[in-house]
Amino acid sequence: MLNFDALSQLKSLKQEIHQSVPRHEGKVRATGGRYGFVNTDDNQQFFLNPDEMDKVLAGDMIAFRVEETKEGKSQAIIEKLISSAQDEFVGQYIVKGKGHFISPDHPTFNRWVFVPPAKRNSAKDGDLVACKISQHPYPHGKVQADVLEVVGQTSDRQIESNMMMRKWDIAGEFSEHCNDEAQALLSVMDEATTTEVRNDLTALNWLTIDSAMSRDLDDALHCEKTASGWDLHVAIADPSCAIKPGSEIDKEALRRGTSSYFADNMIPMLPSSLSEGAFSLLPEQVRPAMVCHLTISEQGEVTNCRIENALIESKAKLSYVQVAAFLEGINNDLVALIAEPIKPILSILNECALALNGYRRRNNLVLDDRIEFKATLNESGKVEQIISLERNQAHKLVEECMVAVNRSVANFLAEKEHGLFIQHAGIRSERQGEARALVKEQLGVANPEKVANLEGFIEIQQLIAAGNPDADGAPFELPLQAILARQLERSKYGTEVKPHVGMGLPAYTTFTSPIRKYNDLLVHRLVKAYLAEAQSEESQLSPISAEILEQVGKAQNNSRMAAWQSDQWLKAEWLLRQYAEEKKGPESLLRGGQIVQVNSGGFTVRLDDCGIEGQVDVRRNKEWKFDTKTMTHSKGEVTYRLEQKVNVSIAGITPVLREVKFTLCEA
Same domain, 321 and 396: yes
519 within domain boundaries: no
Residue 16: per-residue pLDDT: 53
Q: Average pLDDT, whole number, for the chain?
A: 91
Same domain, 478 and 410: no
Same domain, 214 and 310: yes
Same domain, 261 and 371: yes
- Of 275, 307, 250, 305, the closest CA to residue 528 belongs to 307
Work out the percent of the chain whose per-residue pLDDT is above 90: 79
Q: Could you give the CA distance from residue 555 to residue 256 in angstroms, rounded to a whole number?
A: 6
Same domain, 72 and 120: no
* Number of domains observed in the structure of the chain: 5
Same domain, 393 and 434: no
- pLDDT tens-place string over residues 453-493: 999 999 999 999 988 888 888 889 999 999 999 999 999 99
Query: Which one of 83, 109, 143 terminates a domain?
Result: 83
Q: What is the CATH number of the domain that holds 619?
A: 2.40.50.140
- pLDDT tens-place string over residues 139-160: 877 899 999 999 999 999 999 9
Boundaries of domain holding 111: 88-153
Q: Is the pTM of this model over 0.85?
A: yes
pLDDT value at 188 more than 80: no
pLDDT value at 340 more than 50: yes
Q: Could you give the CA distance from residue 648 to residue 592 in angstroms, rounded to a whole number?
A: 6
**606 CB-side CA count, 13 A:** 15
Q: How far is CA 641 from CA 161, 476, 628, in A?
A: 34, 13, 11
Same domain, 407 and 322: yes
100 within domain boundaries: yes
- pLDDT tens-place string over residues 95-115: 999 999 999 998 778 789 999
- Of 546, 512, 305, 309, the closest CA to residue 415 belongs to 305
| Residue 17: pLDDT band with limits 50, 70, 90 | very low
Same domain, 239 and 100: no
Same domain, 75 and 213: no
- pLDDT tens-place string over residues 549-598: 999 999 999 999 999 999 999 999 999 998 887 766 544 568 899 999 99
508 within domain boundaries: no
- pLDDT tens-place string over residues 229-256: 999 999 999 999 999 999 999 999 999 9
294 within domain boundaries: yes
Q: What is the CATH number of the domain that holds 120?
A: 2.40.50.640
Same domain, 374 and 342: yes
Same domain, 129 and 183: no
Least confident of 9-18, 216-225, 446-455: 9-18
Peptide bond into 139 cis (omega under 30): yes
Torsional sign, CA 592, 593, 594, 599: negative
